[in-house]
A and B are shown apart, each in its own frame.
Chain A
Amino acid sequence: MNDHLSLKSLNVAIGSAKILQDVNLTIFQNKVLAVIGPSGCGKTTLLRTINRLIEEESQARVSGEILFRGKSTQQIPLTKLRKDIGLVFQQPLPFPMSIYDNLAYALKYHGVKGKDSLTEIIEANLKLCGLYEEVKDHLFMSALKLSGGQQQRLCIARSLCVEPEVLLMDEPCSSLDIHNTKLIEDLILKLSAHYTIVIVTHNLQQARRIADYTAFFLDGRLIELNTTTEFFTSPRAEASKQYLEGLFG
């Protein structure tokens, strides 16, 4: 199995607060890794550190190393790294422009020219995210008029348009109903054939349904990384067992 991302002795602090401590984690290619743990354990910070979005915060300090395809992420130009490692946020964040322009936004920056090429990529990704049939007659309508579930699928399609290798997802279903959650979970399973996916979730059942591996974090430390089946049936760490039993969280 290929290591796609390797986190080595990763420490992250924001101001005086230590958010992540000595995290060593391997993320395998074309697999879904679920990151779980109680609120405030550093799950979101982990994602923001992987694509270096954490550096936008003036008080953040990062030490340790993250290797992407064997190369330190610090040696990869920021725009290239973030193109290759996309991030989907907890709240759907469509840009205040049309559906078409949302999807064309980053494509134009990354050099896709011509309306035909743009339209082809946009339609392909809308179809992949199961949104095309719903919006094909309203591509130039404001994306803000879409429902929450549609907006989140649009944001996933927008991230996929730039052809990332890794997709980081920060609780993408937390603000969605059961129907839209199911649509996104199906989409994640479909995408995992071609993309490496890291999903932060509070929903243990969701992790169980879609993830190949599960990483359990507590107080900024990685407590256990295991296959999802083993993690949920016979967790190695006592803290994992207690978390699954609902003794804290």
Chain B
Amino acid sequence: MKASNVTLRCWTILSTVLSLGLLVFILGFVYIKAQGVVTLNFILAKPAGFPVGSAGGIWPAIAGSLLVTLIAALSAGILAFFTAVYMVFYCRSPRFSLLLNLIIQCIAGIPSIVLGLFGYAFLVIKLELGLSLLASGLTLAIMIFPFIQIRLQKLFQETSQQLLDAAASLGVSQAYTIFNLLLPLYRKQILSIVALASGFAMGAAAPVMLTGCMMNAPVPKSITSPFMSLPYHLYVLIGQGISLENAYGTAFILMSLVLGLNLLAALPTILRMRGKP
């Protein structure tokens, strides 16, 4: 074997080990630091103590994070699905398609704090949504929209033209084929992409801190209520030196939820490898 091949092989193995090691190290570090903090009471109780967060738990932040992620995933998922469908199946102009792709890539490049500022100025103030779950959810939706749309577009582009022709030859409309053939066919992949994007949204602090997230709030009763979120709670606990132990506990719960979503996203691939439908 040539020396260059050996070097390349060693470098690729080292890179893989480093990547895996980094993940294990971060997980292990947070897990060890969070030990003794994460109890059932910590998960289910409201923040307490003075300053708030130095005692008690993080339930409102867990609920807030889950709800705001749900709003973001639903809004961005629906918008991204129809945009991808338009671009793959209806848009006949390559120039317009290129322009749309450029715009979507530009949205993907907007810094999250700028999205937070936009959400505050446009959704909270201009549209009078107030500091709310809805304003934060929609801001997060803008953030994850390109993430979902680009992947859905790629997925739909892989559809065999022959399959589409076979469906068209039965005299059914394109819309019928999209909803009754392609949607069931890609259901698992679509859910997987949305789950992955949800994990991305759940971990973001900047877009929610200006649009509805509070240091202390109860579990939101409606989409117009302000709320707590895990990443912002974590930021406050560390930034204001309230409780480093509780910060690690919060980080552990946040990571568990994000990893759970990522595992959910990987489920179709895992099942396929194990030979299940």
Is A110's CB within 8 Å of the partner chain B?
yes
Max chain B Cβ within 10 angstroms of own Cβ: one of A95, A108, A155 = A95
- In the complex, A127 Cα to B163 Cα: how many Å? 25
Is B165's CB within 8 Å of the partner chain A?
yes
Set A96, A97, A106: member contacting B172, Cβ < 8 A? A106
Q: Could you give 17 example pairs across A and B, Cβ below 8 Å?
A: A56-B168, A81-B171, A82-B168, A86-B170, A89-B166, A89-B169, A93-B163, A95-B167, A96-B185, A97-B181, A105-B170, A109-B172, A109-B173, A109-B176, A109-B180, A155-B166, A159-B170
- In the complex, A138 Cα to B183 Cα: how many Å? 24
Given contacts A79-B172, A86-B170, A109-B170, 5 further A-B contacts (CB under 8 A): A80-B171, A95-B163, A105-B181, A106-B172, A159-B169
Verify B170–A83 contact, CB threshold 8 A.
yes
Chain A min CB distance to B177 (Å): 9
Chain A min CB distance to B244 (Å): 52
Q: How many residues of A contact B (CB 8 A)?
A: 27
Is A87's CB within 8 Å of the partner chain B?
yes
Is B162's CB within 8 Å of the partner chain A?
yes
A145-164 toward B: CB 8 Å interface, digit per residue (1/0)? 00000000001001100100
B164-202 toward A: CB 8 Å interface, digit per residue (1/0)? 111111111100100011001100000000000000000
A49-64 toward B: CB 8 Å interface, digit per residue (1/0)? 0010100101000000
Contacts of A109 in B (CB 8 A): 170-173, 176, 180
- In the complex, A8 Cα to B165 Cα: how many Å? 25
Chain B min CB distance to A90 (Å): 9
Chain A min CB distance to B159 (Å): 11
Verify B171–A162 contact, CB threshold 8 A.
yes
Contacts of A56 in B (CB 8 A): 164-165, 168
CB-nearest residue of chain A to B160: A93
Verify A84–B162 contact, CB threshold 8 A.
no
Contacts of B181 in A (CB 8 A): 95, 97, 105
Is A226's CB within 8 Å of the partner chain B?
no
Q: How many residues of B contact A (CB 8 A)?
A: 18
A29-63 toward B: CB 8 Å interface, digit per residue (1/0)? 00000000000000000000001010010100000
Contacts of B171 in A (CB 8 A): 79-84, 86, 106, 109-110, 162
Max chain B Cβ within 10 angstroms of own Cβ: one of A58, A79, A155 = A79
- In the complex, A89 Cα to B172 Cα: how many Å? 17
Max chain B Cβ within 10 angstroms of own Cβ: one of A51, A80, A84 = A51
Is A21's CB within 8 Å of the partner chain B?
no
Which chain B residues (56-104) contact chain A, with CB distance < 8 Å?
A: 92
Contacts of A108 in B (CB 8 A): 180
Chain B min CB distance to A82 (Å): 4
Is A91's CB within 8 Å of the partner chain B?
yes
- In the complex, A110 Cα to B171 Cα: how many Å? 8
Which chain A residues (85-139) contact chain B, with CB distance < 8 Å?
A: 86-87, 89, 91, 93, 95-97, 105-106, 108-110
Contacts of A80 in B (CB 8 A): 171
Set A58, A82, A93, A162: member contacting B162, Cβ < 8 A? A93
Contacts of B180 in A (CB 8 A): 105, 108-109
Verify B166–A93 contact, CB threshold 8 A.
yes
Verify B170–A82 contact, CB threshold 8 A.
yes
- In the complex, A96 Cα to B176 Cα: how many Å? 16
Chain A min CB distance to B268 (Å): 14
- In the complex, A83 Cα to B171 Cα: how many Å? 4
Chain B min CB distance to A157 (Å): 12
Contacts of A91 in B (CB 8 A): 162
